[in-house]
């Protein structure tokens, strides 16, 4: 699976306001409380889990797994450097929430089926799986030409993933929307850092050309809505 190192590194996705908004959404649509046991698959630096732990006053540290071991990860979580399949091989816990945020698209369809099956086996009686993916229908991520083309290909596949999950599991869908205001220079830095999987295979020349397009295309402050689909699966 490809690794995205900078999605939560000094971006709006790592801001206190975004994390607070995201966790407010999680709490509103789940049955979480101080006794809840939580697993985040693809946790990055674990800042979402750390904040959630404080909000809920969790008695048990949430567990975050990721194939990247960031030095600045949150200390309020139990971190495991591994992938989900290997984690579940030795896991003896049952979870009230399993969070998969914007990583499901990095897997093959067969891997997605297998992962969801494993997640359901490791849920508590009233446990839930929350799968977040970019809204594949009304996406507003700022792009340049080649990035837009690549993103549209990815979003087309995301539609198939959403349909696969809906058709093979009892689920409901909610929408999470966050209004982003970001300075153009900061966004250019994010693009250069390849903050989104769409950019991972681009050459340095592709990135440089894209940044020049963004400089011409957008104002000094870029405004858009970061729109996610949340698929909620119950056991």
Number of domains in the chain: 1
Q: What is the arithmetic mean of pLDDT over 72-88?
A: 92
pLDDT at residue 68, rounded to an integer: 85
pLDDT tens digits, 147-175: 999 999 999 999 999 999 999 999 999 99
Residue 141, domain member (yes or no)? yes
Domain annotation covers residue 33: yes
Q: Average pLDDT, stretch 63-73? A: 87
* Mean pLDDT taken over the chain: 93
pLDDT digits (tens, 9 = 90+) for 181-235: 999 999 999 999 999 989 999 999 999 999 999 999 999 999 999 999 999 998 7
CATH code (residue 41)? 3.40.50.150
Which residue range is the domain that position 172 belongs to?
12-181+225-234
> Could you report the per-residue pLDDT of 42-54, keeping only the tens digit for each?
998 899 999 999 9
Predicted pLDDT at 4? 53
Burial code of 11-28, b = ≥16 C-beta within 10 A, e = fewer? bbbbbeebbebbbebbee
Q: In what order do the strands lie in the sheet with 38-41?
A: 78-81, 63-66, 38-41, 95-101, 123-134, 221-234, 171-183
pLDDT value of position 6:
47
Let me know if residue 81 belongs to a domain.
Answer: yes
Q: Is residue 142 part of a domain?
A: yes
Q: Is residue 34 part of a domain?
A: yes
Buried b (16+ CB within 10 A) or exposed e, 52-70: bbebbebeebbbbbbeeeb
- Number of neighbouring beta carbons within 10 Å of residue 29: 15
The answer to whether residue 211 is domain-embedded is no
> Is 204 within the bounds of a domain?
no
């Amino acid at each position: 699976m490809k690794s995205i190192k900078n999605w939560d590194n000094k971006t709006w996705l790592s801001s206190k306001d975004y994390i607070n908004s995201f966790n407010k959404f999680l709490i509103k649509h789940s049955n979480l409380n101080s006794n809840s046991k939580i697993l985040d698959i693809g946790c990055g630096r674990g800042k979402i889990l750390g904040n959630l732990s404080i909000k809920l006053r969790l008695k048990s540290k949430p567990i975050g797994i990721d194939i990247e071991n960031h030095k600045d990860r949150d200390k309020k979580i139990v971190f495991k450097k591994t992938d989900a399949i290997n984690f579940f091989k030795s896991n003896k816990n049952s979870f009230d929430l399993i969070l998969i945020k914007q990583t499901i698209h990095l897997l093959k369809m067969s891997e997605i089926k297998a992962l969801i099956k494993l997640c359901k086996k490791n849920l508590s009686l009233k446990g839930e799986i929350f799968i977040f993916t970019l809204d594949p229908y009304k996406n507003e991520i700022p792009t340049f030409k080649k990035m837009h083309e690549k993103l549209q290909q990815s979003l087309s596949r995301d539609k198939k993933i959403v349909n696969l999950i809906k058709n093979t599991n009892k689920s409901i869908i909610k929408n999470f929307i966050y209004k982003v205001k970001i300075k153009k220079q900061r966004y250019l830095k994010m693009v250069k850092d390849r903050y989104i999987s769409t950019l991972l295979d681009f050459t340095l020349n592709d990135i440089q050309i894209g940044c020049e397009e963004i400089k011409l295309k957008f104002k000094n402050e870029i405004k858009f809505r970061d729109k996610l689909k949340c698929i909620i699966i119950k056991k």
